[in-house]
Amino acid sequence: MQSAELKAFVVDKVDDLKAKDIVTFDVSNQSTITDYMVICSGTSSTHVRSMAEYAVKEAKQANIEILGVEGRDGSEWVLVDFGGVILHVMQEQTRDFYQLEKLWSEGA
């Protein structure tokens, strides 16, 4: 699956579980590890964990390789590495604190 198709797949899966404020960034010119970043918010630690786990489950069913998952335990910020796409599912306060959108948009 091409990175653009994978990005659409990931966005669709988090949208299925009502992710808030989904944004995507093409970071292929800024990063050597991925082509796209997908950032979204959940309303609670349970919502964040559920969205990440759902994306992983659906990817496995579609035979998409998962390179890693970080942050499941605390669930303030769960990162799922799909290779060509990295998904960041965050609670609102964590997202506000780290401001990944600002970091990646300034690097463009």
Question: If pLDDT is split at 50, 70 and 90, which confidence band does 15 have?
Answer: very high
Q: What is the pTM of this model?
A: 0.94
Which are the contacts of 75, defined by CB distance < 8 A and separation ≥ 6?
45, 46, 48, 49, 91
CB 39 within 8 A of CB 23: yes
Length of the chain equals: 108
**pLDDT value of position 107:** 52
CA distances from 86 to 66, 89, 90 (A): 10, 10, 13
Q: At what angle do helices 45-61 and 3-16 cross, to 10 degrees?
A: 130
DSSP type of residue 13: H
Res. 104: pLDDT tops 90: no
24 φψ region: left (φ > 0), alpha (ψ -120 to 50), beta (else): beta
pLDDT digits (tens, 9 = 90+) for 69-103: 999 888 899 999 999 999 999 999 999 999 999 88
pLDDT digits (tens, 9 = 90+) for 35-71: 999 999 999 999 999 999 999 999 999 999 999 999 9
Domain ranges of the chain: 3-106
**Residue 89 token pair:** 């599912």
Tell the CATH topology of 3-106.
Answer: Beta Polymerase; domain 2 (3.30.460)
Query: Three-state SS for 29?
Result: coil
